[in-house]
Chains A and B, each alone.
Chain A
Amino acid sequence: EAGVTQFPSHSVIEKGQTVTLRCDPISGHDNLYWYRRVMGKEIKFLLHFVKESKQDESGMPNNRFLAERTGGTYSTLKVQPAELEDSGVYFCASSRSGRGAYEQYFGPGTRLTVT
């Protein structure tokens, strides 16, 4: 089966601009997660979708971040307007429901640089 894919792999934008990151989970995975790693820090949870619904968005840093999951398939994470501290690697992960929910499969990440 195809793995989790993320687009773009890299993005360089200026402060104040808007960027949209996309994640395509493994087909059939109801759970979709976004995580972020700021340089030198640990990987931190941002939010969790179950199908199209936000289950937990406690990790979203502020209202400049907007996540959506259209029809319970792919997800987008928009940052508007971007700030310097938003730079980092954004990971997406997905997992099945039920017992399969223990194992999260990660995408390669999107490296975002805000200048």
Chain B
Amino acid sequence: AQSVTQLDSQVPVFEEAPVELRCNYSSSVSVYLFWYVQYPNQGLQLLLKYLSGSTLVKSINGFEAEFNKSQTSFHLRKPSVHISDTAEYFCAVGAAGNKLTFGGGTRVLVKP
């Protein structure tokens, strides 16, 4: 069985400040890790994924996440947030062709 814990349900942050969203998982098998984002009134969008190879993965809009096997973590970071980053972020684990197991989500509110 797999489980995902997102330690923060809400993260308020000022514009241009850094943000880190924490994600820890447990699994008895090798997993693949994902961050999804849901902007207000929209569906879930894949932000970035770790399948294999380099443990640091980056998105096109400045987010990055690092897979840490020993810590069973996949924290998401951005060095400088924008108002447009206001959204809910979901960490998930899964395998090819199989279901995703999600964390509870972290709401990020970027303040001017």
Name A residues whose Cβ lies closer than 8 Å to a Cβ of B: 4, 31, 33, 35, 41-45, 48, 50, 56, 59, 91, 93, 95, 97, 99, 101-109
**Complex-state Cα separation, A44 to B44, whole angstroms:** 13
Q: A102 touching B44 by the CB < 8 A rule?
A: no
Contacts of A42 in B (CB 8 A): 4, 102-105
Contact of A103 among B42, B49, B98, B105 (CB under 8 A): B49
Which residues B39-67 have CB closer than 8 A to chain A?
A: 42-46, 49, 51
In the assembled complex, which residues on chain B have CB atoms less than 8 Å from the CB atom of A43?
44, 90, 92, 100, 102, 105
Complex Cα gap A91–B84 (Å): 23
Closest Cβ of chain A: how far from B29's Cβ, in Å?
15
A41–B23 Cα distance when bound, in Å, is: 16
What residues of chain B have their CB less than 8 Å away from a CB belonging to chain A? Answer: 4, 32, 36, 42-46, 49, 51, 90, 92, 94, 96-105
* From B32, B44, B51, B98, contact of A106 by CB (8 A): B44
Tell which of A101, A108, A109 touches B96, judged by Cβ atoms closer than 8 Å.
A101
Of chain A, the residue at the smallest CB distance from B104 is A42
- The number of A-B residue pairs with CB atoms under 8 Å apart is 56
By the criterion CB–CB under 8 Å, are A56 and B99 in contact?
Answer: yes
Chain A residues contacting B36 (CB-CB under 8 Å) are 106
- Min distance, Cβ A28 to any Cβ of chain B, angstroms: 15
One of B94, B97, B102 near A44 (C-beta < 8 A): B102
A95's partner among B42, B90, B97, B104 (CB-CB below 8 A) is B97
Tell me the complex Cα distance, A86–B45, Å: 24
CA distance A108 to B6 in the complex (A): 22
Nearest residue, chain B, Cβ from A47: B99
Find the B residue at minimum CB distance from A104. B100
Q: Residues of A contacting B97 with CB < 8 Å?
A: 31, 50, 95, 97, 101
Contacts A106-B36, A106-B44 given: A45-B101 contact, CB under 8 Å? yes
Chain A residues contacting B104 (CB-CB under 8 Å) are 41-42
Chain B residue contacts of A106, Cβ below 8 A: 36, 43-45
